[in-house]
């Protein structure tokens, strides 16, 4: 199963993009009874002015159904230690 990522520019973030994205994910997460395998993370990119949001493999169906307007892309498991859990249960990252 793939991880997914969505990147928001500083302009998107300044216009409330982070809150909108996170709120939409929280709604989807709670509609699915807050499953342990669905998690949303954030990582501020050091190489450019953007924030990348990562979604665990358990989010695949939800991302592809409800977040296409954010242009999600499949990606390998993020390895950055600065990754911050935004939504989901706090156990270890897997996948």
- Give domain status of residue 93, yes or no: no
pLDDT in tens, 63-75: 888 899 999 999 9
Judged against a pLDDT cut of 70, whether residue 93 lies above it is answered with no
- Give domain status of residue 94, yes or no: no
Q: CB-side exposure of 77: number of CA atoms within 13 Å?
A: 9
- Give domain status of residue 59, yes or no: yes
Determine the average pLDDT of the residues in 9-32.
92
Q: How many structural domains is the chain composed of?
A: 1
- Give domain status of residue 92, yes or no: no
What is d(CA 37, CA 10) in angstroms, rounded to the nearest whole number?
29
- Give domain status of residue 25, yes or no: yes
What is d(CA 38, CA 53) in angstroms, rounded to the nearest whole number?
13
What is d(CA 53, CA 83) in angstroms, rounded to the nearest whole number?
9
- Give domain status of residue 29, yes or no: yes
pLDDT in tens, 24-45: 999 999 999 999 999 999 987 7
Range of the domain at 13: 3-87
Determine the average pLDDT of the residues in 74-88.
87
- Give domain status of residue 8, yes or no: yes
What is d(CA 11, CA 36) in angstroms, rounded to the nearest whole number?
32
């Amino acid at each position: 199963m793939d991880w997914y990522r969505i990147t928001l520019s500083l302009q998107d973030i300044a216009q409330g993009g982070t809150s909108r994205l996170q709120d939409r994910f929280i709604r989807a997460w709670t509609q699915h009874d807050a499953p342990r395998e669905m998690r949303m993370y954030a990582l501020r990119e050091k190489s450019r002015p953007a924030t990348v949001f990562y979604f665990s493999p358990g989010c695949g169906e939800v991302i592809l159904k409800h977040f296409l307007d954010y242009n999600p892309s499949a990606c390998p498991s993020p390895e950055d230690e600065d990754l911050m859990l935004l939504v989901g249960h706090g156990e270890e990252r897997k996948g």
